[in-house]
Amino acid sequence: MKAPSTHPARTLVRRFLDAHPAPTGRELADAGLVCPHWPRPWGIDADPLTQLAIDEELAAAGVDRPDNQIGTGWAGPTVIAAGTDEQKSRYLPPLLAGEEIWCQLFSEPDAGSDLASLRTAAVRDGDDYVITGQKIWTTWADRADYGILLARTDPSVPKHRGISYFLFPMRQDGVTVRPIREMSGGHHFNEVFLDRARVPAANRVGEEGDGWRLAGITLGNERVSLSTGGLCWGLGPTHDDFVALVRERGPIVDPVLRQRIADAWIHGEIIRLIGERITAALAAGGRPGPEASVKKVLADEHGQRVTALVKDLCGPGGMLADAGPLGADVGEWHWAYLFARALTIGGGTGEVQRDILAQSILGLPRS
């Protein structure tokens, strides 16, 4: 789905780029172009078609927005929904500009799928809370300035009611970040140890005990965001890159490979059409229903299917990480193949998503 060529947002972006030929993150943020769907003054209250027009114009000009996915995708929307005016003024401008990077401090070693059983404690001490505990699978904790933190402020009440939500400063004594080395060679996942670290009470979002509800806002954005863009949560090669690669290789003789390619193309088109359906619903003023969870399940499995197929198309050369039939693109595809193992786990496992769909759409009993 594309925005009309005459959409007024195109003129807005072109005028901005005439004045700022190589815009900084701060200039993009001040113009409301980083997250144009956010309310003013952080965005421009853009409807879906306006967002598409802005995206297309920035892409055509080769302008990249600041890379702060957790900040703009999850932390920012939660602050907008429930933060104080002071929190919005302090944290949203540098978040949008990419001047302060954010991470998500939710999962724990014994609290993954059952997040409400988390044990990290927040004990009030005057104007601060003292935080003790451990978090795991924290993306970009090694370079984050702040994190959205869930911690237990009241262990005496049922587990869902004793959790609070904080905007947590990462760069302080008492915070230890240890990388988790992945088989892809990278370590964007980390474990975080909190040993009497402190967070001001002014950094609590909402009331004490309201953290579980706010986590729902965050995770709702996550499950949509993780399934967009490239094959790996918006990263790496795309479905179109896969199609181009197949065309470059010429005729495929093996009937099994031919069928796998056809299946992968069909699934890619289905996912694209679901995305357009979501966009059309938003453009009409509605809200997408179960499509977001359906799209996540399909897109995660599609990423694994495509990256494995690309490796197989390369034959023995597919085992190489730095040479072979993929040429200059080998590094990106090799990384994507290894990283794709995480897709059906992060942001809610495929099994959990299917349970949600079974219960909320099909009316089946809880598993």
Amino acid residing at 287: R
Query: Residue 314: what pLDDT?
Result: 81
Evaluate if residue 322 carries a pLDDT over 80: no
Does 231 lie in the same domain as 354?
yes
CB burial class (10 A; 0-12, 13-18, 19+) of residue 295?
A: buried
Q: Helices 48-60 & 255-283, crossing angle to 10 degrees?
A: 120
Sign of CA dihedral 156, 157, 160, 163: negative
Q: What domain range is 305 assigned to?
A: 226-360
For residue 232, is it within any domain? Answer: yes
Give CA 123 to chain center in angstroms.
Answer: 30
Question: Considering the entire predicted model, what is its pTM?
Answer: 0.82
Evaluate if residue 226 carries a pLDDT over 50: no
Q: Catalytic site residues?
A: 222
For residue 16, is it within any domain? Answer: yes
Residues paired with residue 175 on neighbouring β-strands, in sequence order: 194
Query: Residue 323: what pLDDT?
Result: 57
Query: Residue 359: what pLDDT?
Result: 84
Which two three-digit tokens encode residue 92?
């949203």
Does 316 lie in the same domain as 233?
yes
Evaluate if residue 218 carries a pLDDT over 90: no
Query: Residue 75: what pLDDT?
Result: 95
pLDDT in tens, 38-84: 999 999 999 888 988 999 999 999 999 999 989 998 999 999 999 99
Does 183 lie in the same domain as 140?
yes
Does 53 lie in the same domain as 148?
no
Does 188 lie in the same domain as 248?
no
Does 110 lie in the same domain as 55?
no
For residue 304, is it within any domain? Answer: yes
Closest CA relative to residue 333, chosen from 344, 320, 343, 347: 320
More confident position, 350 or 154: 154
Does 289 lie in the same domain as 248?
yes
Does 340 lie in the same domain as 242?
yes
Does 287 lie in the same domain as 354?
yes
More confident position, 252 or 143: 143
What confidence category does residue 223 fall into, taking pLDDT thresholds of 50, 70 and 90?
A: very low
For residue 154, is it within any domain? Answer: yes
For residue 85, is it within any domain? Answer: no
Tally of structural domains, the chain: 3
